[in-house]
Amino acid sequence: DEFSIKRFGNEAKRCLQMMDDQLRETGGPFLLGKDVTVVDVACFAYAASAFWACVDIQGMPHLLKWLAMLHERPSFKTGLTIPFARPAFFGPPYATKEEIEA
């Protein structure tokens, strides 16, 4: 129902804003500071699904930078292809318009 969609969309945005704030406060580049940890791995899956969940994160510069950085790490690139690549899930700039519309 519409109430639930709005409620959980707002909650997702609040949680993602907390991640953006954490990255700003620690100075990054990772959620807990200078080193990538299991926290980054676990939170990446949640944050990277924002496009799919229709949650706008364009006003979260630290989160966007963090996502872009993790997308470029070889280990994440490999992991994102198992069992097959799903670029449309992540939206722009990680997927083309054609991949998203397919």
pLDDT, tens digit (0-9, with 9 covering 90-100), for 31-84: 999 999 999 999 999 999 999 899 999 999 999 999 999 999 999 989 988 888
C-alpha span between 24 and 52 (Å, rounded): 24
What residue ranges define each of the domains in the chain, with the CATH number in brackets?
2-101 (1.20.1050)
Burial of 85 per CB tally in 10 Å (0-12, 13-18, 19+):
middle
C-alpha span between 54 and 74 (Å, rounded): 27
Is pLDDT of 102 > 90?
Answer: no
With bands split at pLDDT 50, 70 and 90, how would you rate the model's confidence at 1? confident
Provide the pLDDT for residue 48. 92
C-alpha span between 10 and 31 (Å, rounded): 22
* C-alpha of 48 from chain center: 3
